[in-house]
A = this chain, B = another copy of it.
Amino acid sequence: MADLDLQRYNVQIDLALEAKELAESGTGSPIPGVTSEVSEENGIKVTQLHVQTEEGSRAINKIQGHYVTLEVPGLRNQDTELQDRVATTFAKYFETFLQRVGIGRTAKVLIVGLGNWNVTPDALGPIVVENVMVTRHFFELMPDQVAPGYRAVSAVAPGVLGTTGIESSEIVQGIVERTHPDVIIAIDALASRTLDRVNTTIQIADTGIHPGSGIGNKRRGLTQEVLGIPVIAIGVPTVVYASTIVNSTIELMRRHFESVNGDTNQILGLINQMNEQERLQLVKEVLNPIGHDLLVTPKEIDQFIEDIGNIIASGLNASLHEAVDTSNVAAYTH
């Protein structure tokens, strides 16, 4: 959501899971080149999704790579024990993810918290940076005295174009060139297609962060191509477009009537025969001219963003340092 632009959201769905669901709902069958496995434990649903081929990538409009998604509807209830469990589960999957993409145990990490301090739903990245444990300076200033089981971790919140006048990717590139990390972990707030995913879902991906294609070659992402090192993206949906709320609700209504054997053509008229994209286009055409198509966020966003920021910071601390125990990750955040 950092350096937000409308076109980005038009052409791209931020969660791979939603993109796959949408594509499948269109064809009614699995997408070739996209595999996934789902597990669920204690109220935490984990989907591992692999976009394996160029064909699969085109079909769901997501870059080839690995995507792990944690869905935890209960996160809305401010249940401290569940939050600890999510942090532990996140740490476990993130550690495995690092190994699978070839990041070793001593690889130096730069954590990049994208987004804007002063816009609550966009503050996830800066909140994680504020709460994560940094150690790089100990390795630089007193390398002999660092206890075993830690690696060099640094963390920056580069701000957003509107308040810095500089692309986040340029700031990060400059820092990478001076500090030579081995891998970047970039945290960003995302837009979701449905309200129930907001602040209850965490996506990990090895694809880096790509800006919308509509902006042209002046905008650059945080990717291995640009930065020369792997970029792992952690994203949490914190906002939804009003138009996608409407559109996905109409879809829900459609399915509801189908499920009770209603004549959906009769009930919903031509609307029923439109595909997802046509219908979204229609909704946007109605809402845009009168300024109704805003990005919205749940009323309780202040608490949600604080909670999920702490979960990610705790999970990162546990997965990045062997000396930090996954059974007690929360204690290492501020």
Contacts and interface: CB of A to CB of B under 8 A. Distances in A.
A182 interface: no
Interface stretch (A20-28, A38-46, A264-272): A264-272
How many copies of the chain does the oligomer comprise? 4
A170 B175 CA distance: 7
Contact of A299 (B141, B270, B285, B296): B296
Contacts of A19: none
Given A272-B269, A302-B119, A171 B163 contact: no
Nearest to A296: B296
A159 B157 contact: yes
Contacts of A161: 137
Interface stretch (A97-105, A147-155, A203-211, A316-324): A147-155
A93 interface: no
A164 B171 contact: no
A57 to B, nearest CB: 29
Interface string A67-91: 0000001001010110000000000
A153 B327 CA distance: 33
A179 B175 contact: no
Contacts of A176: 174
A239 B334 CA distance: 24
Contacts of A170: 175, 178-179
Contacts of A253: 282-283, 286
Contacts of A154: 164-166
Given A196-B292, A287-B249, A299-B239, A165 B174 contact: no
Nearest to A80: B331
Interface stretch (A47-55, A127-135, A229-237): A127-135
Nearest to A246: B249
Contact of A117 (B117, B166, B167, B296): B117
A65 to B, nearest CB: 27
Contacts of A252: 286-287, 290, 292
A31 interface: no
Interface residues of A, number: 86
Given A129-B163, A171-B178, A268-B269, A195 B302 contact: no
A174 B154 CA distance: 15
Given A253-B283, A267-B269, A269-B267, A119 B300 contact: yes
A72 B159 CA distance: 31
Given A179-B170, A300-B119, A136 B156 contact: no
A61 interface: no
Interface string A283-303: 101110011101111111111
Nearest to A126: B117
A214 to B, nearest CB: 13
Contact of A195 (B118, B157, B292, B334): B292
A171 B159 contact: no
> Which 5 A-B residue pairings sit nearest by Cβ, starting from the closest?
A174-B174, A269-B269, A136-B165, A134-B165, A154-B165
